[in-house]
Amino acid sequence: MGKVIGIATRIEKRAPMVVYASAKVTFDGGIGDDSRGLIKGDRQVTVMTVENWKNVCTDLDRNLHWTTRRANILIEGVDLENTKGDLLKIGKFHLEITGELKPCGRMDEQKEGLTQALTHNWRGGVMCKILSEGIVSEGDQVILGEKALLKQ
């Protein structure tokens, strides 16, 4: 079992990430009306782990803020590697993991070498689609598991 460490969104593509203590989670707006939150295929919400981000920063020998990755939710205590098709229950809402969130060239615009550092073992996180709406808050419990478990 894990927990939410951080929440961030952006109002438009390439805009700075804004950090929140909590945000609404909706089918139409993703996390807090993030610009990528509309349902467009398999990427509506992005999630990464603090453990992987620390490894990335160690590789780069630089302490970067986690929003440099441009993910929506930062969690701890859950291993996201090879979890495509699994579900995440965060607080009272549910996400389906649709695949690995592969880093793009935008990462190297922020820090040279970041793209490469994110490519190992799903360090860049996962992309998800929303299965149920709710609110996400720092400190919320995170459970990775099967559909039957997460409907509780």
The third-level CATH classification (topology) of the domain covering 2-150 is M1 Pyruvate Kinase; Domain 3 (2.40.33)
**pTM surpassing 0.75?**
yes
Burial 75-114 (b: 16+ CB within 10 A, else e): bbebebeebeebbbbbbebbbbbbebbebeeebeeeeeeb
Q: How confident is the model at residue 148 (pLDDT cuts 50, 70, 90)?
A: very low
Read off the pLDDT of residues 79-114 as tens digits, 9 standing for 90 and up: 999 999 999 999 999 999 999 998 877 787 778 888
